[in-house]
Structure 1
Amino acid sequence: MTEPARRVPGTAREGRLSYAVFLLARAHRGYAADMLRDMKLHPGQELLLMQLFDRDGQTQSELLEAVGLDHSTVSKSLRRMQEAGLLTREPAEHDRRVMVVHLTDKGRALEEPIANMWRTLERVSVRNLTEDQVEAFTAVAHAIEQTLKSDSS
């Protein structure tokens, strides 16, 4: 049984796709946030951890660039994660002003739970879609992302 379509506010009628993207992003983020809460993480922190799982010992600037979030958000997240014992931050040998981020054992232990979370999120998200629909949606989403990025530059 499908859920009835939401009424699009009058001011968004000229932006039906954008409103649909907003609703999708909010629902997707909310679903992920529930799973992250079980791991005692806030949304976005898993993205930083995933970067460190791939390459531990990155600078805060490298992490900032990799996740595409603003400086204050990344700095606040890293501070919270350090306080939770998931990572350490220490000055780089080459430049004491540069902070290098390393996972702790506790942070590294979240790799499999986070991978499971993403598998579950994907499975639930595509449950009612065909493989062709998943491929088409992914291509369209990337095209929209690139257009928005190039238009804001």
Structure 2
Amino acid sequence: MTQSTPETGKGPAEPEQEVTVPVPAAAGGGPVSHAIFRLARLHRMFAGQLLRRIGLHPGQELVMMHLWELGAQRQADLVRLMDSDAATMTRTVRRLEQAGFVRRRPSPTDKRASLIEPTAASHALRREVEQVWSHLEDLSTAGLTPDERTAALHTLERLEQNLVRAAADPDGACGEK
């Protein structure tokens, strides 16, 4: 992926690398945003390829990670943990249930709710998910030094914090600079 210079939004910083998605002129005012889009698209594509081999789709492994770590959860709690919406979580849980990786059981404290819990089959899958994530990390950070990996993680966390703050202030998110 060719990098764009933040000052101009165009021009490769590393000419020997191939452009995966050309930067349209209209994106010139947002080269970082366009790079995030390209990176997220490629990351999800590779994650999908790796996860398909073990019977999962992107996002399902994240639900399983939470269930493995926290145990049985109400679906509403999974929505909150994943920063998702109810419809998406319903589809995800239904697919995981059909695959035999989760089961529903009545909540002992709330008769209106059911708990989603990982099955023995999903526990057998955990090591494979961990291997997929390690491989995806290796693909994503190939050629980076440990210091560059740390710096990249710090930068991504700051970008996320910026967007979380913007989401908490709807007026600021849509306003001009």
Question: TM-score by structure 1 length?
Answer: 0.94
Task: Tell me which residue corresponds to 1:29.
Answer: 44
Offset of residue 4 of structure 1: 2.9
Instruction: Say whether residues 1:66 and 2:81 are aligned partners.
Output: yes
Q: What code does the residue aligned with 1:4 have?
A: E
Task: Tell me which residue corresponds to 2:53.
Answer: 38
Counterparts in 2 of 1:1-153, with a 5 A limit?
2-5=16-19, 6-153=21-168
Q: What code does the residue aligned with 2:73 have?
A: Q
Structure 1 segments, 4+ long, off by >3 Å, are none
Q: What code does the residue aligned with 1:34 have?
A: Q
Aligned with 1:7: secondary structure? coil
Q: What code does the residue aligned with 1:79 have?
A: R
Aligned with 2:30: secondary structure? helix
Offset of residue 96 of structure 1: 1.6
Offset of residue 83 of structure 1: 1.2
Aligned with 1:109: secondary structure? helix
Offset of residue 29 of structure 1: 0.7
Offset of residue 133 of structure 1: 1.2
Structure 1 Cα separation of the partners of residues 52 and 156 of structure 2: 27
| Number of equivalences | 153
> Kindly tell me: are residues 54 and 2 of structure 1, through their superposed partners in 2, closer, same or farther at Cα, counting changes over 3 Å?
farther
Greater Cα radius of gyration, structure 1 or 2: 2
Deviation per CA, 1:2-27, whole angstroms, max 9, x where unpaired? 42345310110100000000000000
Which region of structure 1 is more displaced relative to structure 2, 93-102 or 74-83?
93-102
Aligned with 1:69: secondary structure? coil
Q: Which runs of 5+ in 1 are unaligned?
A: none
Aligned with 1:150: secondary structure? helix
Q: Which runs of 5+ in 2 are unaligned?
A: 1-14, 169-177
Offset of residue 124 of structure 1: 1.4
Structure 2 Cα separation of the partners of residues 94 and 36 of structure 1: 35
